Structure 1
Amino acid sequence: MPFPDEVGRGVTVVDYQPDWPAEFTHLADRLRAAVGDRAVVIDHVGSTSVPGLAAKDCIDAQIRVDALSPDLVELLENAGFRCRPEPWNRVEISSGQRCDKLVFAPPIGERATNVHIRLTTGPNTRYALLFRDYLRADAKARASWGAFKQRLSQSVHALADYGQIKAPATEILMLSAEHWAADTNWTLS
């Protein structure tokens, strides 16, 4: 469920915005200030991290940590971020494995962001980075994925429905990404 200030936001997929990398850098600086050396790496993930890819105007950041612990919630909440309470924002299945995570919304009134906290070596961490790197590398896949999301957003206006419909298509995309990873010897960096 969205926070009250997020209610009523529809799903709009826009063309790639050249400001997204700088906006991520600003967000990453704030996150690093909030969590300090608990962050092993802070990655720009999701569609806004792929130059040329149409996306929802929502910056996704991934904080890689060695351990998920309650103090991470306190650190980010002290910086104004809001821990999302939904079960699907606490656990995800990636490569058939249950992966714990935390997801945070931005402070009230700030630009749309999702901050994902995942274990450094988790399969869900790898998944997010493989998605990004594959779409950065494959122009045809990037164009097709962007066109799919734009068409979907024109017919499905509720964010939850959009995500539910997109999920199985993402799994198909990731099959191609896994083949690309094997062919190129891609590894988590």
Structure 2
Amino acid sequence: MSAIAIVNPDPTWAAQYDKTAQVISNILGDTVVRVDHIGSTSVPNLAAKDILDIQATVAVESELDDAVQLLTAADWEARPPRRDHPVPGLPRDEFQWVKRLVVEPMYRRRVNLHLRVIGRANQRYALLFRDYLRAHPDTAAAYGEFKRRAATLPLESVGEYADLKDPVCDLIYLPAEDWAARTGWSA
């Protein structure tokens, strides 16, 4: 049995994000420059884990820990500091992939809150990936089918699922960069 459960798209995910983003914005105030719905629940009609992925963007790296302190004071749970996986073709500098991850207070709606620095490769990646899938529903559907099939594998952890999914996301991201250049997309 897999550790991952992929569910059908929920048309209320956007409204759930709006409510949760307001809570996050109230906690973080001026510490963040923006809060965005990212990940599969941010793409209409895309199957996903029933966990909202939200990105809170700070202006400078030192504010990552400030944001974590504010959130933990409000009963959110901080995960150990980490980095996103470097994407082929994007900067390899480790500072481009630094983030913090915080999850919702106990007994609340499941949320993975990714804290990233504005203008860094990982902050832009999450937004471009989302917008590309929103603009390309056939690609989103194929990605959803991959996730459904991956979730049927005997995976023992969410980490194994992420390791399986990351290269697929990177393959989607490559044409997303071309699309962004052609359309003038910006984060």
TM > 0.5 fold call: yes
**Partner in structure 2 of residue 67 of structure 1:** 60
Conserved 8 A contact 1:156-1:162 = no
Q: Give, in whole Å, the separation in 2 of the partners of 1:151 and 1:76.
A: 35
**Partner in structure 2 of residue 173 of structure 1:** 172
Aligned equivalent of 1:35, options 28, 34, 42: 28
Q: Cα deviation per residue 1:65-121 (whole Å; 9 max; x = unaligned)?
A: 112333222101011111111xxx522235233222111011112222100111111
**Partner in structure 1 of residue 38 of structure 2:** 45
Aligned-pair Cα RMSD in Å: 1.7
**Partner in structure 2 of residue 142 of structure 1:** 140
Q: Give, in whole Å, the separation in 2 of the partners of 1:9 and 1:139.
A: 27
Conserved 8 A contact 2:2-2:152 = no
Q: Percent identity?
A: 38
Tell me which moved more, 175-184 or 56-65.
Answer: 175-184
Q: Give, in whole Å, the separation in 2 of the partners of 1:9 and 1:109.
A: 23
State the AA in 2 paired with 1:130: L
Q: Where do residues 91-110 of structure 1 align in structure 2 (5 Å cutoff)?
A: 91-92=83-84, 93-94=86-87, 95-97=90-92, 98=94, 99-110=97-108
Is 2:110 the counterpart of 1:112?
A: yes
Q: Give, in whole Å, the separation in 2 of the partners of 1:177 and 1:71.
A: 32
**Partner in structure 2 of residue 3 of structure 1:** none
Instruction: Give the CA deviation at 1:9.
Output: 8.9
**Partner in structure 2 of residue 5 of structure 1:** none
Instruction: Give the CA deviation at 1:53.
Output: 0.7
Q: Give, in whole Å, the separation in 2 of the partners of 1:34 and 1:170.
A: 31
Conserved 8 A contact 1:58-1:112 = yes
Q: Give, in whole Å, the separation in 1 of the partners of 2:33 and 2:159.
A: 31
**Partner in structure 2 of residue 78 of structure 1:** 73
State the AA in 1 paired with 2:146: F
Matched residue SS, 1:155:
coil
In structure 2, list runs of 5 or more residues that go unmatched. none
Aligned equivalent of 2:49, options 56, 71, 78: 56
Is 2:23 the counterpart of 1:25?
A: no
In structure 1, list runs of 5 or more residues that go unmatched. 1-7
Tell me which moved more, 157-166 or 145-154.
Answer: 157-166
TM-score, with length taken from structure 1: 0.88
Higher strand share: 1
Instruction: Give the CA deviation at 1:175.
Output: 1.0
Instruction: Give the CA deviation at 1:185.
Output: 1.9
Q: Give, in whole Å, the separation in 1 of the partners of 2:23 and 2:178.
A: 36
TM-score, with length taken from structure 2: 0.89
Q: Give, in whole Å, the separation in 2 of the partners of 1:68 and 1:80.
A: 22
Matched residue SS, 2:151:
helix
